[in-house]
């Protein structure tokens, strides 16, 4: 089972594409990847408490997960450095199933390792990327013109060709 949850907490309604490209290049909130009974990231299904911030770069996380799906489909192994927990990384390797390992940087210790269907992983990323882009479109359609969002759209097209 693979499930991605995210929630944008940045107020992106006033972002201009030019400023976004120069200053932010990120859309923050919470993002969580659930793999079978394991999870990395943080994204509770609730509103923020006053003064609370979620600082995961959602664009980066989804982009890297999509890149991992594409690369493993092409026979490559792939690693994703987790920004919110800079001591953790995900290692993706396609055998018969996709093997996802969560690795702690100190001593390269494997915290957990799960097997999932590669197609299921790709389909969930495809779904999450599409939902993310819909959220951006609802809040600030102009951001869809930015280079990062164009790159994400290209990844979504590649995933579509692979498995949809």
**Would you write out the chain's pLDDT as a tens digit for each of its 164 residues?**
999 999 988 888 888 777 666 655 688 888 999 999 999 887 777 676 776 677 788 999 999 999 999 999 999 999 999 876 668 899 999 999 999 999 998 878 999 999 999 999 999 999 999 999 999 999 999 889 888 889 999 999 999 988 76
Catalogue the long-range contacts made by 100-105 (C-beta closer than 8 Å, 24 or more residues apart): 100/35, 102/38, 102/40
- The answer to whether 6 and 30 are in contact (CB under 8 A) is yes
Q: What ranges make up the beta strands (E) of 2-122?
A: 2-8, 28-35, 38-42, 56-57, 78-81, 88-94, 98-104, 109-116
| Longest CA pairwise span in the chain (Å) | 46
Q: Is the pTM of this model over 0.75?
A: yes
CA distance 78 to 46: 32
């Amino acid at each position: 089972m693979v499930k991605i949850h995210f929630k944008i907490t940045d107020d992106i309604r006033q972002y201009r594409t030019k400023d976004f490209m120069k200053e932010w290049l990120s859309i923050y909130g919470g993002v969580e990847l659930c793999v079978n009974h394991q999870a990395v990231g943080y994204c509770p299904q609730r509103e923020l408490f006053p003064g609370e911030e979620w600082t995961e770069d959602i664009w980066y996380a989804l982009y890297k997960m999509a890149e991992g799906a594409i690369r493993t489909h092409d026979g490559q192994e792939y690693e994703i450095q987790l920004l919110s927990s800079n001591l953790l990384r995900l290692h993706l390797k396609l055998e018969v199933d996709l093997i996802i390992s969560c690795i702690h940087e100190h001593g390269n210790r494997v915290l957990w390792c799960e097997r999932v269907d590669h197609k299921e992983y790709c389909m969930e990323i495809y779904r999450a990327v599409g939902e993310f882009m819909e959220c951006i479109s609802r809040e600030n359609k102009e951001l869809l013109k930015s280079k990062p969002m164009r790159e994400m759209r290209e990844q979504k097209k590649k995933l579509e060709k692979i498995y949809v």
